[in-house]
A = this chain, B = another copy of it.
């Protein structure tokens, strides 16, 4: 297993990316190709130590795509950008998967441009796992790749998300729900109202109807289907909420008696465990479903731990053969529709 890593994306590049790659190589035994500025990457590797014994190579790329560039223009123009080069390594079968923590828009554009869509899928979707109270994971598809989705895009999100949940997360017959503002059929905006009946008549998934926002953390559903605009807002709201609750609790403890401070110290492991569960660094990265290859999108503020975990996710995604499963299902669906 050989993973191409865009070493120049993310708020903490290249240092944290390099450190995460080192950890992944040592812990999982995969090969990693760090793509980006040779000098900068080498400097970080040297600072770490004797990296030449590790299964790490550097692939030089002279350009960087920044957060404020128009994604598709940048990807087409900057042919030697780390993101573009890393993606090319997968297309040329020199690597099995690629991960990037740069701009999500640029990642989606690079994946579309470099690897292309799976035949029959019109739009890609990011599948982000969210931990739930039921002790499992709820997959949010799409959490930001495609906005203004048509109903058929949401149908594809449902099929792809279901295959991801089954083959990567090991959920048997995952329950698929449509994110909506009420339980009953007929509720919601035009998009939701048009999508509901299409999902209902789909044989290849276990559709359980509408899911409301609260069903995601409660784990009443395994795969939540939505437009990338809604999914992205929800995901970032959740991140902000967890971080705000932490801040409020810390603030309160700071202003409390010594007893509360002591109690907080005793409870710290429990609180940390909870915080860890909700931390995006733990899941590392989210696959871009619908792309003809393994492309993993990481959070822009990924640190070493997130990159390490994203490399694990990339390998799992490749091994699970979800891309091939999606291809087979979409052909099947097309045949059914034509019968």
A residues bordering B, Cβ < 8 Å?
68, 70, 105, 132-133, 144, 147-148, 179-182, 184, 186, 188-190, 192, 212-218, 226-230, 232-245, 247-249, 252-253, 256, 259-260, 262-267, 270-271, 273-274, 277-278
With A234-B237, A241-B217 known as contacts, the answer to whether A263 contacts B274 (CB < 8 A) is no
Given A217-B244, A218-B244, A263-B264, 13 extra CB contacts under 8 A: A68-B184, A147-B181, A147-B189, A212-B233, A215-B240, A237-B238, A238-B238, A248-B274, A248-B277, A249-B271, A259-B266, A262-B263, A263-B263
**Contact across chains for B232 and A230 when beta carbons are under 8 A apart:** no
The chain B residue sitting closest to A238, CB to CB, is B241
Main secondary structure of the interface of A (DSSP, over half): helix
The chain B residue sitting closest to A143, CB to CB, is B181
Name A237's contact: one of B217, B256, B265 (CB within 8 Å): B217
**Contact across chains for A245 and B245 when beta carbons are under 8 A apart:** yes
The chain B residue sitting closest to A226, CB to CB, is B233
**Contact across chains for A256 and B270 when beta carbons are under 8 A apart:** yes
**Contact across chains for B240 and A216 when beta carbons are under 8 A apart:** yes
**Contact across chains for B212 and A244 when beta carbons are under 8 A apart:** no
30 interchain pairs, CB-CB under 8 A: A68-B184, A70-B186, A132-B244, A133-B248, A147-B181, A148-B189, A181-B228, A181-B233, A192-B229, A212-B240, A213-B233, A213-B235, A213-B238, A214-B239, A216-B237, A217-B237, A217-B241, A217-B244, A217-B245, A218-B243, A226-B233, A230-B230, A233-B234, A234-B237, A238-B238, A238-B241, A245-B274, A252-B270, A253-B270, A260-B267
